[in-house]
Amino acid sequence: MKWKGLFITIVAALLLTVVGCGKKEVKPVAIDEKTDKCANCNMAVTNDQFGTEVILENGKSLKFDDLGCMYKWMDKNKNEKLQAKFVRDFNTKEWVEVEKATYVYDKDIKTPMAYNVISFKDKKDAESFISKNRGEVLAAKDLEKHEWKKNMDMMMKIKEENGKKKDMNHSH
């Protein structure tokens, strides 16, 4: 009788091991605002709703300050094997897999590098954003065809604002 119980335990353990050997879940790495730089434009990555991340096949995490930077980097590095891609929900800053998120594009949406695309975990939140503001809903597959162009007018405004902040900080 003991052997039967031991046999069942061993079989159960083996089954769990086999099931557990499937594709392990890849999780995003927390952003460290002191050290993380965008892998595309080398600007600081802030822990906000614009930060995105790519996990390479070797487990290395690359962070980006703007969704557009991530797509520009992927376009330049097509031969890199990726395990996962993550964006943040615009409202909650919660990490979401790129394929599961819904996106909103509008040239007036301010993003760090003025690519003007934001992400949402739920499509209804994206639609709600558009109803209050403007924009068009994009699915993850639409991002690959999206023309990732910076809104240069917005970039100039961002640079001016950053310049004013620096001036204010140095005027003590």
Domain coordinates in residue numbering, the chain: 28-166
pLDDT tens for 65-118 read 999 999 999 999 999 999 999 999 999 999 999 999 999 999 999 999 999 999
d(CA 127, CA 137): 7
d(CA 21, CA 96): 23
Q: Give the separation between CA 73 and CA 62, rounded to whole angstroms.
A: 10
Where are the strands (E) in the chain, listed by range? Answer: 52-56, 61-64, 82-88, 95-97, 102-105, 117-120, 136-139
Helices and strands (H and E) in the chain: how many: 5, 7
pLDDT band at 162 (very low <50, low <70, confident <90, very high): confident
